[in-house]
Amino acid sequence: MKSKLVANAGSFRDPANQIYEIMPKVNGGKARILRGLSGDALAIYQKLSDEIFFREALSAGHIVRTSLLPADDEDAMSIMTDGWVGVLEHEPVPFVTYPYEWTFSMLKDAALLQLHLIETSLENGWTLKDATAYNIQWIGPRPVFIDVGSFAPWKEGDPWVGYRQFCSMFLTPLMLRAHLGIDHLPLLRSYIDGIPPTEAIKYFSGTKRLKRGVLSHIIFPAKVENSIAKRERDDAPARQRTPRLQSKAMVVGLVQSLTRLVQKLSSEIEHTDWSQYDKTHSYQEADFDVKKAFVLKHTSTIQREYIWDIGCNTGTFSRISGENCSHVISVDGDHNTVEQLYLVEKKNPDSNILPLVMNLANISPGQGWAGFERQAFDQRRRPDLVLCLALIHHVRMSANIPNLLFLKWLSSLQAEVILEFVNREDEMVVKLLTNKKEQYIDYNLEQFTAEAERFFTIIDREPLKGGKREIFYLKPR
């Protein structure tokens, strides 16, 4: 039986290489991530792999584990039939994510990794062809650079070609949040190639332009771009470009000044409904222990590969379920809560929790070229189990999504589910319904149970908070 070879839908911009995913021959087998290289790209990789800085970055975990496959590898041979001369194998990252799902500190750490790699590359006669944030992925809460094909030899005089992309994808969104408190995530979701300076300038008026880094990296580039666009518009002829030579001191100096700037950017965690959840939840300690024990009971029976904790808050249950699971994807719509989870988890070198910010009533869609370049959240990697604790009342009453639709979506994941239903008598539901005209009469335990049984088999259930809530362990039908 042959393995299934799929060209990655997001890997087509660089003509020198292409990513392929090799789907396992049997269920439960491991997928392989391979990169076809052109003749030139292969020669560059062979030179790069001898460089000490590159090997150090690999062993430090800054670059995804990579090896050159022998020409007799069965999967490599099938890729080479597409015209590639060499094939690299990369260690697959647990779960592909995009910058519009990262918190401020995640984007900041990703930016610092990108800058660290470009600086060490330049110091050793190499550069990176681009500076897109999509080249950074995560292993737990640790960023890792995945685009080995981006390394290219650098000679004195060459500018840093990734500067504009770095500013659009990393620096500008970071400055928008740090300086103005603007949520950078919806902007990054829309501008999938980064926020251009000509748009970013509109957010900075008056004295806001004096904030750190704004004049140099937003106002000045925007003025230059606007002035060029103005001069070249309509039928004005294109003018000849004369490349300006840039010394090593200029290029490395710029990278270092950006590193200092990014390091100084900060965003305070504000107190929200969720950011203090571990202290302010509505449970008595004994009740909370019952809920923890239920989750532990059903997550510790077998070792699972992927658990999603949707509506994770500060990650109490992500940690419990992560003890018997390879990877936990913890998602919440509240930026500050996820930020707090990330800041705690990044201190733990063994953490297997990847925190993500996402409104669960509006998950990341498939977008980019032909709608496939960036995958929808629920189309990436199927979870084995989904934790969905005290979320459903928000889905129903805040987002106005009927329980049936939510359960249908959950069942489409073909995963086991641990779901906590918050009943009408619970004080949190009472709070939600206060001042609401629509009272969601269909929202009750009996109806929910009946609807859940259409898609799932109830394996176990337990009342919580004296019957105000009920926790279920469900298996898909």
Nearer to another protein, 139 or 214 (CB): 214
Q: Is 191 in the site for another protein (CB under 8 A)?
A: no
Nearer to another protein, 67 or 256 (CB): 256
Q: Is 263 in the site for another protein (CB under 8 A)?
A: no
> How many whole angstroms separate alpha carbon 96 and alpha carbon 272?
28
Nearer to another protein, 216 or 367 (CB): 216
Alpha helices in 23-135 (DSSP H): 39-48, 52-59, 74-80, 104-123
Amino acid at 31: A
Residue 203 is classified by DSSP as: G
Minimum CB–partner distance for residue 264 and another protein (Å): 15
Sole window of 170-178, 231-239, 364-372, 398-406 interacting with another protein (rule: CB under 8 A): 231-239
Minimum CB–partner distance for residue 13 and another protein (Å): 15
* Positions 86 through 125 that interact with another protein (CB under 8 A): none
Tokens 């004369």, located at residue: 242
Nearer to another protein, 227 or 326 (CB): 227
Quick one: which H or E segment has residue 345?
helix 335-345
Nearer to another protein, 58 or 161 (CB): 161
Q: Is 220 in the site for another protein (CB under 8 A)?
A: yes
Minimum CB–partner distance for residue 237 and another protein (Å): 9
Q: Please say whether the beta carbons of 338 and 388 come within 8 A.
A: no
Residue 246 is classified by DSSP as: B
Minimum CB–partner distance for residue 128 and another protein (Å): 14
Q: Please say whether the beta carbons of 118 and 162 come within 8 A.
A: yes
**Bridge partners, 208 (sequence order):** none
* Positions 137 through 176 that interact with another protein (CB under 8 A): 159-161, 163-164
Minimum CB–partner distance for residue 174 and another protein (Å): 17
Which residue among 73, 91, 199, 225 contacts another protein (CB under 8 A)?
225
**Bridge partners, 427 (sequence order):** none
Q: Is 232 in the site for another protein (CB under 8 A)?
A: yes
- Number of neighbours of residue 96 by Cβ within 10 angstroms: 17
Which residue among 29, 181, 253, 467 contacts another protein (CB under 8 A)?
253
Minimum CB–partner distance for residue 158 and another protein (Å): 11
Q: Is 5 helix (H, G, I), strand (E, B) or coil?
A: strand
Q: Number of residues in contact with another protein, rule: CB under 8 A? A: 35
Nearer to another protein, 102 or 166 (CB): 166
Q: Is 244 in the site for another protein (CB under 8 A)?
A: yes
Q: Is 367 in the site for another protein (CB under 8 A)?
A: no
Sole window of 236-244, 381-389, 412-420, 451-459 interacting with another protein (rule: CB under 8 A): 236-244
Which residue among 210, 361, 376, 399 contacts another protein (CB under 8 A)?
210
Q: Is 13 in the site for another protein (CB under 8 A)?
A: no
- Which among 457, 311, 288 has a CA at the least distance from the CA of 386? 311
By CB under 8 A, name the binding residues for another protein.
159-161, 163-164, 198, 210, 215-217, 220-221, 224-225, 227-229, 232, 238-244, 246-247, 249-254, 256-257
